[in-house]
Amino acid sequence: MTTIFTESKMTELVRLMSRAKSIVITSHKSPDGDSMGCSLGLFHFLLKQGYPVTVCHPDMAPSFLHWMPGSEHIVLLESEPEKAKKLLENADLIFCLDYHHPSRTGKMEELLVASKAGKIIIDHHRDPDQEFATLLFSDITASSTSQLIYDFIEALDRLDLIDEKSGTCIYTGLVTDTGSFRFSATSARTHHIAGDLINRGIKTWQVHENLFDTNSLNKLKMVSYALLEKLVILPEYKTAYIWLTRKEEERFQVIKGDTEGLVNQVLSIEGIRLAGFFKEADQIIKISFRSKGEIPANQLCKMHFEGGGHLNASGGKYVGKIEDAVQKFVTILPNFVEENKALFE
């Protein structure tokens, strides 16, 4: 197996880690299962060896991830700005996990850029920011950054230190970023790691239950409403999308994370190869795309919605009214489909 954790880079990293009086683990804004999984997986692994380590995230994860071990210790820039600011200012070493560019951390960006700490990027997104990173560990073929944290621990030859806490977090990242081992980035390696974590005693069934069997009735009603009343199918473009206004979200008392899986459900419709979801967020319209096969959902976001991401899962934004965001999508769609005609067959 080729590894991004080469001996020379690892020697340098171990040197930086051993000198550091304060290590801070950061990840992107709007945390997901992988950003939580890699942050907390690394946190528990380092803590077990006595490293002075703290996790600091831009904002809070959705509640379906709050059960994750260590979640309660995360310092949030959003709710404890002074504490987070001090942490980042005084850090000697900052791990930048699951993001390729500091702009993905929202308001944390300026603090990260200003910090004199060494920055260690470990990530699986395209086009990592080489200049920002002191050491860069990038593998865009990895299913998740959590998978890379396992690789990192293996490169240190300390898999023996993986315990229920770190293992559960890493497994959560694998599951959530692969759509439960379904997406194309799921490799033999991903399954090997999952198998090894099972051998180490991780209760994988419990992780699945915590992630997927904790829906509120309100969420299920919102999903039903969205599919029944708001689903738009464009059969000639093998595309479908849903958009929800803030008012509609309020009607179902939607909380953070509730709308997350909706776009995947849209993609699950037979014959649909591109799925979109639009919602009203603070100041902007937040857009998500999912695609099948080789259809570049990330290009769609990069070209038209100030975003990016992975081939099959991307996100972006639109400044203006939600109706206009949807209209823009419908307008650019025919060209996008034409340009990628073979991929839509």
Query: Is the Cβ of residue 58 or residue 309 nearer to ligand 5GP in the bound state?
Result: 309
Residues engaged in binding Mn ion (CB under 5 A): 34, 98, 144-145, 177
197: its two tokens: 């974590």
Strands 23-27 and 93-97: parallel
Strands 239-244 and 231-234: antiparallel
Q: Is 128 a residue that touches ligand 5GP (CB under 6 A)?
A: no
Q: Is 288 a residue that touches ligand 5GP (CB under 6 A)?
A: yes
Query: Shortest Cβ distance from residue 153 to Mn ion (Å)?
Result: 17
x/- map, 209-248, ligand 5GP, by CB under 6 A = ----------------------------------------
Query: Shortest Cβ distance from residue 278 to ligand 5GP (Å)?
Result: 11
Query: Is the Cβ of residue 34 or residue 280 nearer to Mn ion in the bound state?
Result: 34
Cβ atoms of 42 and 149 closer than 8 Å = yes
Query: Shortest Cβ distance from residue 48 to ligand 5GP (Å)?
Result: 28
The values of phi and psi at residue 313, to 5°, are -145, 115
Q: Is 307 a residue that touches ligand 5GP (CB under 6 A)?
A: yes
Residues that bind ligand 5GP (rule: CB under 6 A) add up to a total of 11
Of 261, 260, 267, whose CA–CA distance to 238 is shortest?
A: 267
Distance CA 195, CA 173 (A): 14
Cβ atoms of 13 and 135 closer than 8 Å = yes
Q: Is 57 a residue that touches ligand 5GP (CB under 6 A)?
A: no
Q: Is 313 a residue that touches ligand 5GP (CB under 6 A)?
A: yes
| Residue 166 interacts with, from Mn ion, ligand 5GP, none (CB under 5-8 Å by kind) | none
40: its two tokens: 């907390």
**CB-based burial label for 119 (10 Å; 0-12, 13-18, 19+):** buried
| Residue 309 interacts with, from ligand 5GP, Mn ion, none (CB under 5-8 Å by kind) | ligand 5GP
259 three-state secondary structure? coil
Q: Is 316 a residue that touches ligand 5GP (CB under 6 A)?
A: yes
Q: What distances in angstroms separate CA 196 from CA 34, 136, 190, 304, one per listed residue?
A: 18, 26, 10, 41
Stretch that binds ligand 5GP, among 138-146, 161-169, 202-210, 312-320 (CB under 6 A): 312-320
| Residue 314 interacts with, from ligand 5GP, Mn ion, none (CB under 5-8 Å by kind) | ligand 5GP
Going by C-beta distance under 8 Å and a sequence separation of 6 or more, which residues neighbour residue 88?
24, 26, 56, 94, 108, 111, 112, 115, 117
Q: Is 309 a residue that touches ligand 5GP (CB under 6 A)?
A: yes
Q: Is 27 a residue that touches ligand 5GP (CB under 6 A)?
A: no
Q: What distances in angstroms separate CA 244 from CA 6, 225, 307, 328, one per listed residue?
A: 46, 10, 20, 16
Query: Is the Cβ of residue 35 or residue 166 nearer to ligand 5GP in the bound state?
Result: 35
Per CB under 6 A, residues contacting ligand 5GP are 125, 288, 307-310, 313-317
